[in-house]
Each structure stands twice: as structure tokens, then as C-alpha cells.
């Protein structure tokens, strides 16, 4: 975005907080949590508004539910519309594009959520995240919607908003207990994966900047890391585009592959979530896979209580706390390596320590603030009270809102992933990246099950 | 030496990045904090940080 002031160029920097979806997700998430708490503190609950379709076995149950609850869905849609339209308008998108897009997203989400609540859904592999992705991909690739509606299909905003709301369902003690384990596991896998992809790419004759961008795409946080590191090292723009395409391709494959592999291996929900957090490439794709596996694991005989949430919690700790927050450090280190050891491109990069904060995924702050808030509420309420009234009237409505936010994100992944938008991928980059995937998946599984399995299996219990 | 931030060859607009990498929105965002002030250099055809510098710097505006 540019502006002219007294004949001189001034640009509104992307680092301005109102230009970043991270901060809008934090603001919207904390506002929803504050609303839930305000209603709860006044002796009521947001449960009326945070309605979700019930479990069902026969259609009459559904029709009875919607006949009675339609005003609640209408009110919820209005609340989401205000939140989403407001945030996206601040990011520069017109309400006349985002509002219809969001309403479509909401209607599709209600349909997919309802299907997922069917008693036989798991038997037919109809986990809502996977169905949402498949439906979205179908709609986008058959060109059933105008591209202008993409303005309302903002995957990152919905997922970041969901992560902030997730923070309000995880006590800070849990993050403090599992955080170091996540950090250790994620660090081992990230460094090894980067090393394998970089070495393979160099061995295949790719230039070091391209190899580095591919490496972080597989090791850190997928597309976001690829863009950040491409700029930090001054990579060619087509190298960034190729990496983004490869990351998307593998991430979509992994959304389906990791939950089914976890199911075949009969992994506990927490272990499966940790594995997905280690081996998926993007937050949105990973949360879709983790939630899908949580749903599968929860309906398996002998599943621990809260299994569905365990998978998403383990994923978030591993991916967000363990991997994403280091993106600035990767940018700093690789920019120094690029400037001192790789061929001069004529561009002098000046990445400094301040970039660690500039590139920090700010939604993590919202996640932690939400967790601190709910921990303080729990302390104030006392254990017995928190276990009953607070959970039912405060935490559960927030959890339901989180599920909706994630649903919007999962659908948006499919609705914005078009095969024709993917840049032509050469064999060598794909091979190098795939070598990293192979090592990452095996190492991630070994660490999640054998080395740190006990932690992940008992997460939150 | 002035940084790319005020160079006429440097474009940090979200639309530009989406044009070069159309699939960026499906699993990331041009509005992500991790992107900082990164943009595209029209001279070098590379992604660069706004703090970078080069000899082809030219103050100005792209319309």
C-alpha cells in the first residue's frame, strides 16, 4: 500500500499491526472470550449463541433441532458476520465481497458440521475437516464460485482466530508442562528436516537460496516460512512460488494421510496430534488433520476422555509453540549465511535481531493470553466449581466457537486451492522436498511414540 | 545507502505478491506477521526484505 506525502513516497508498512491478520485474530478472539466471560459473570452463558448441531441417528432428530434452534443459528451467523467483516474490512477487503462469501461459508459449515455429528460418520470416514476440504476443493476446481469471493475465504485468519480461542481451553500449566517437550521434539525434527532437504537440493544441483527456501518450507511453517526466508535470503520469486506449490501439494496429501496412518497404527489421540504437529507443513492443514484424527480417536473403543481435544492441543503445542515461533531466528541465521557464504546477488540483506520480533507469529500471544485468562478464572473459581459450572457455561461455549472458526478455515483451504494456481513444479525440487518429508515422517513418528510418547499420551489428563 | 522500502522498484503490495504466488492464500496469507515488510524487486525479480539495499536503488513510486 503506498501513499504520497509532500511528493515523497511513504508506504504503510505491512508490520503496522492493523495490516496483519495475526493481530485481528488476537483482537477478535480475545473479544469473543471477553464476551463469553461477561455473559458468564452476569450469571448466564453464551451457550445459547454458541450452538452446534447435536449428535443424531435419524433425520427427525435433526429437523426437530433446527426447527427449535434456527434463531440461535441466525444470531450466531450475525455475530460471526460482524466479527469477520470487521476484521477483513480492516485488512482492506470490501464488505460487499466478504459478507456473501462468509454467509456461504457459514451455511456450508453448518451442513458439514451436521454431517459429522451423524452417529455413523466415522464408519464412512466423514470427519468434518476432511469433508470440508474435499467439498471446498471440488467447488474451487470446478469453478463453481467467482474468484472475488476469495476475499471472505481467509484461511489464516480463521485458523489463527481458532488458535486464540483454543488457548482459552488449555490451562497455562499444561502449556508450561508440555511446551519444553514440544520445543525439544520440534527442534530436533526441524533441524534434521531442513538439513535433509537442503543437502538433497544441493546434491541435485539447486542453488543454495532455493535449497534454503525449500528446507524451511518443510521444516518450519510451510508457505509462511518459505515467503519469509525467500525475502530474508533474497531468493528468486519463482523459487518461492515453486516451494509454495510443493508445500501445498504435500500438505493436502498429509491432511488425509496422517490421520489414517495414525488410525492404522492405533496411536493415542495425543500421540497422533504430536506426530501431525511434527510432520505437517502448515498450521491450517495440520489443525484439519489433527481435528480429523481427534474425531476418529475419540470414537475408537477405549478412547480416553477428551481424546478429540487432545489431538488438537498436542498439534498446537508442537507446531505453533515448537516450530512457528522460530521463524524470525531462521530468517536471521539464513540471511547471515546467505550474505557471507553464498553467491552475491547484488542485494544486501539487512536482517537484524529486531526481525525476530517483526516476523514473530503474533497470534501466539493471543493464544497465551487466553490461556492465562482461563487459568486465572479457574484459580478464582476453585477446582470443584471450575469442573462443573465454569466448564459448562464458559469453556464449552468458547470451545464451540473455536470449532466453528476452524470449520471456516478448513472449508476455506479447499475453496482457495486451485490446481491451476500452482506453479509448475520441477522434478528436482519435488524430489529434494520429498526426501525431507520421508525423513520427517519417520523421525516425527519415532519421537512422538517412543521418545516422548508418555508425555503426549497423557496430555491434559 | 537507502533501503528498498522507498525504492520505486520495490513493491510490497499484497496484490503483487498474490499475483506472483497465486496459491499463497490457500495455506498462508499476505497479511501474516511472518511476512514483515517483504516485497518483490522488479529489477532483480527476487523477494526481498524492505530493509535490503542495492546499487539500483531509485526513489519513487509505482503506479
- The residue among A51 and B27 whose pLDDT is bigger is A51
d(Cα A255, Cα A442) in Å, to the nearest integer?
16
- pLDDT surpasses 60 at B51: yes
Chain B contact present for A2, CB below 8 A = yes
Chain A contact present for B15, CB below 8 A = no
Quote the pLDDT of residue A8. Answer: 42
Chain B contact present for A356, CB below 8 A = no
Kindly list the averaged pLDDT for each block of 10 residues, start to end, along chain A of length 461: 41 70 97 96 94 95 96 98 96 95 98 95 89 96 94 96 95 87 93 97 97 96 94 94 95 95 93 95 94 88 71 93 92 95 90 90 96 90 71 93 97 95 89 97 95 86 67
Q: Give me the interface pTM, i.e. the ipTM.
A: 0.94
Quote the pLDDT of residue A309. Answer: 87
- pLDDT surpasses 60 at B62: no
CB contacts < 8 A (A, B): 196
CA of A361 to nearest chain B CA: how many angstroms apart? Answer: 6
Quote the pLDDT of residue A10. Answer: 45
What string of DSSP letters covers A394-420? Answer: IIHHHHHHHHHHHHHHHHHHHHH--GG
Chain B contact present for A421, CB below 8 A = yes
Quote the pLDDT of residue A303. Answer: 64
CB A165 within 8 A of CB A398: yes
A76 CB-near residues (< 8 Å, 6+ apart): A49, A50, A51, A404
Quote the pLDDT of residue B41. Answer: 94
If you count them, how many residues does chain B have?
A: 63
Quote the pLDDT of residue A251. Answer: 96
Quote the pLDDT of residue A388. Answer: 74
CA of B49 to nearest chain A CA: how many angstroms apart? Answer: 5
Quote the pLDDT of residue A304. Answer: 62
Number of Cβ atoms within 10 Å of the Cβ of A86:
15
User: Residue A410 has which C-alpha cell?
Assistant: 478448513
Query: Over chain B, what is the mean pLDDT?
Result: 88
User: Residue B47 has which C-alpha cell?
Assistant: 523477494
d(Cα A249, Cα A240) in Å, to the nearest integer?
14
User: Residue A3 has which C-alpha cell?
Assistant: 501513499
Report the percentage of chain B scoring pLDDT > 70: 95
Q: Which residue of A has its CA nearest to B6?
A: A9
Quote the pLDDT of residue A350. Answer: 82
pTM here is 0.93
Quote the pLDDT of residue A258. Answer: 96
Amino acid at each position: 500500500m503506498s501513499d504520497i506525502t509532500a511528493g515523497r513516497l511513504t508506504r504503510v508498512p505491512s508490520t503496522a499491526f492493523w495490516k496483519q491478520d495475526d493481530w485481528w485474530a488476537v483482537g477478535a478472539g480475545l473479544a469473543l472470550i471477553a464476551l463469553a466471560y461477561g455473559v458468564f459473570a452476569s450469571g448466564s452463558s453464551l451457550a445459547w449463541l454458541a450452538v452446534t448441531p447435536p449428535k443424531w441417528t435419524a433425520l427427525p432428530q435433526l429437523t426437530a433441532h433446527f426447527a427449535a434452534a434456527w434463531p440461535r443459528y441466525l444470531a450466531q451467523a450475525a455475530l460471526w458476520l460482524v466479527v469477520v467483516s470487521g476484521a477483513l474490512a480492516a485488512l482492506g477487503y470490501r464488505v460487499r465481497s466478504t459478507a456473501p462469501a462468509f454467509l456461504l461459508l457459514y451455511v456450508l459449515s453448518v451442513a458439514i458440521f451436521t454431517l459429522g455429528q451423524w452417529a455413523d460418520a466415522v464408519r464412512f470416514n466423514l470427519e468434518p475437516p476432511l469433508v470440508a476440504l474435499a467439498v471446498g476443493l471440488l467447488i474451487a476446481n470446478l469453478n463453481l464460485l467467482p474468484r472475488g469471493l476469495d476475499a471472505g475465504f481467509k484461511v489464516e485468519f480463521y485458523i489463527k482466530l481458532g488458535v486464540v480461542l483454543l488457548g482459552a481451553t488449555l490451562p497455562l500449566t499444561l502449556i508450561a508442562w508440555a511446551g519444553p517437550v514440544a520445543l525439544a521434539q520440534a527442534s530436533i525434527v526441524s533441524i534434521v528436516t531442513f538439513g535433509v532437504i537442503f543437502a538433497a537440493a544441493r546434491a541435485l544441483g539447486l542453488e543454495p537460496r532455493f535449497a534454503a527456501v525449500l528446507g524451511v518450507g518443510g521444516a518450519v511453517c510451510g508457505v509462511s516460512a518459505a515467503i519469509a526466508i525467500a525475502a530474508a535470503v533474497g531468493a528468486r520469486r519463482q523459487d518461492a512460488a515453486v516451494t509454495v506449490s510443493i508445500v501445498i501439494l504435500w500438505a493436502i496429501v498429509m491432511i488425509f494421510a496422517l490421520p489414517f496412518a495414525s488410525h492404522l497404527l492405533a496411536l493415542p489421540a495425543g500421540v497422533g496430534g504430536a506426530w501431525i504437529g511434527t510432520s505437517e507443513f502448515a498450521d491450517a492443514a495440520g489443525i484439519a488433520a489433527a481435528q480429523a484424527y481427534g474425531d476418529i480417536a475419540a470414537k475408537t473403543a477405549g478412547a480416553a476422555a477428551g481424546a478429540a481435544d487432545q489431538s488438537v492441543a498436542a498439534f498446537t503445542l508442537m507446531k505453533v509453540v515448537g516450530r512457528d515461533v522460530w521463524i524470525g531466528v531462521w530468517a536471521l541465521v539464513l540471511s547471515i549465511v546467505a550474505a557471507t557464504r553464498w553467491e552475491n546477488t547484488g542485494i544486501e540483506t539487512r536482517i537484524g535481531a529486531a526481525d525476530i520480533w517483526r516476523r514473530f507469529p503474533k497470534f501466539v500471544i493471543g493464544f497465551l493470553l487466553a490461556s492465562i485468562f482461563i487459568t486465572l478464572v479457574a484459580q478464582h473459581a476453585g477446582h470443584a466449581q471450575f469442573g462443573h459450572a465454569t466448564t459448562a457455561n464458559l469453556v464449552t461455549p468458547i470451545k464451540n466457537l473455536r470449532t466453528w472458526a476452524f470449520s471456516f478455515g478448513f472449508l476455506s483451504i479447499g475453496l482457495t486451492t486451485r490446481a491451476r494456481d500452482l506453479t509448475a513444479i520441477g522434478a528436482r525440487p519435488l524430489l529434494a522436498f520429498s526426501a525431507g518429508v520421508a525423513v520427517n515422517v519417520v523421525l516425527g513418528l519415532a519421537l512422538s511414540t517412543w521418545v516422548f510418547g508418555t508425555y503426549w499420551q497423557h496430555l491434559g489428563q | 545507502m537507502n533501503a528498498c522500502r522507498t525504492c520505486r522498484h520495490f513493491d510490497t503490495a499484497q496484490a503483487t505478491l498474490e499475483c506472483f504466488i497465486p496459491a499463497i492464500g490457500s495455506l498462508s496469507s499476505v497479511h501474516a506477521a511472518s511476512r514483515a515488510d517483504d516485497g518483490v524487486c522488479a529489477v532483480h525479480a527476487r523477494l526481498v526484505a524492505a530493509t535490503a539495499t542495492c546499487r539500483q536503488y531509485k526513489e519513487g513510486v509505482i503506479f
